[in-house]
Structure 1
């Protein structure tokens, strides 16, 4: 059984390594046994951490988007090793006997960061393996018939819209994506 985790990452730059994850969230987004999708009753099963930056590099524009205080995170952010171990344990606990699958919108940005951080900072690696991931943007394209370029959040059909806004707070956005994911999965176009 696939066990889905919606994820959102807030960073201080475009790529991991030279730049840092400042916060990330994972939200239980449902399960699928090959026949039946099960949407969660709510999106309260979540994991959120704010991290200590791993390098001195940052882009001012990235901080303006996410509103995180990088100087405060240098002092008070969680050590990435601890955060990634805790995240891995949480994912595996929620997944139980199922296979954890990473879900994002779009997948390419968030997967690059989280996978790199799990490989770099968790002694046990990624709970999602090297490829258990699901791109909501591609699913929107397939379900709607829109080209990928027209499958962003701003073009979502009304039936697929989440109930909350996109805030650029990792937990809010992971919940928003989990809701979009379930809406897309269940939608009969």
Structure 2
């Protein structure tokens, strides 16, 4: 008998974070959005619909500190977030329940959730810190994260340094705007991920 490789069915969740500074704790995650990018059961990848329902919350700041230039990127106003932003503990618990729901694929099968982002290091540090701080656990575990810049470098066979969306082939880029609204950008990332996952590489058909 040969050894059969065990494959863990995976659901890829695209997440985008907007924050008012460079690191969580001293600074705050002001909003985040998430959508399913696709499912992989080891027998094939199925991308999700671009317009499928996602998750989005704007959050009350957790610190008095913020970088005005960083906050301005999101287009959100500090006073509005302080007055009407969701409590982080409530929002992160709701997010955990949402991830639990999307773990069940279209055919009723259970999948392991993995977060994807571009670049993942910024979004992951905020989301993971908030999940652990306010809920005590992460639906992605401590390492269930895939960086799309790294995925592109591996698929294209190019050095990581200097990679940007403008350096990618046009066929990989989503026909969606990058608005810095977290849900919009999560959808854009989801399409980029699916395009990369299905891409055979440069010069291949």
- TM-score normalised by L of structure 1: 0.96
Corresponding residue for 2:36? 28
Q: Which has the higher helix share?
A: 1
Equivalent residue runs for 1:26-175 within 5 Å: 26-96=34-104, 97-123=110-136, 125-175=137-187
Report if the CA contact (8 A) 1:29-1:40 is conserved.
yes
Residue 165 (structure 1) shift: 1.6
Q: How many residues align?
A: 188
Larger radius of gyration: 2
User: Does 2:192 align with 1:180?
Assistant: yes
Residue 130 (structure 1) shift: 0.4
Runs of 4+ in 1 over 3 A off after TM superposition: none
Query: For each residue in 1:157-178, what CA deviation from the matched residue of structure 2 results, as whole angstroms up to 9, or x when unmatched?
Result: 1110001121111011100000
Aligned equivalents of 1:100, 1:10: Cα separation in 2: 21
Aligned equivalents of 1:70, 1:9: Cα separation in 2: 16
